[in-house]
Amino acid sequence: MTSTLLQAAYKAIDDKHGEDIVVLNMQGISLLADYFIIAHGNSDRQVQAIARELQDVAVKEGHEIRRVEGFDGARWILVDLGDVVAHVFHKDERAYYNLERLWGDAPQLDIPEA
């Protein structure tokens, strides 16, 4: 189920033209989730559209949305889907928080295009 959710979330981000999509395998590293997906959009509107698409796809496929944080500010939106947590940044914020470096011990995964 997680791989289906991971692929659906990746595709949702890609469908809304999220940029520089990175998937981190967090198994054995973090108790928060099995996978983090990190991506960014170039405007507040795009960041919100990506987060909205993530939620719509998750609901359509029968997955629970545990929480969404940061939607109104659209600088860093966290969409918690349980085993998969998506971090959707505004381009200006992504480099500042640099989650890829923070979680540098997590292996990156290649997700085939759906």
Across the range 24-36, mean pLDDT stands at 92
Query: Bridge partners of 77?
Result: 88
Please tell me the pTM assigned to this model.
0.92
pLDDT over 90 percentage in the chain:
79
How far is residue 102's CA from residue 41's CA, in Å, rounded to a whole number?
A: 20
Q: What is the pLDDT of residues 44-67, one digit of tens each?
A: 999 999 999 999 999 999 999 999
How far is residue 11's CA from residue 3's CA, in Å, rounded to a whole number?
A: 12
User: Quick check: 112 pLDDT over 80?
Assistant: no
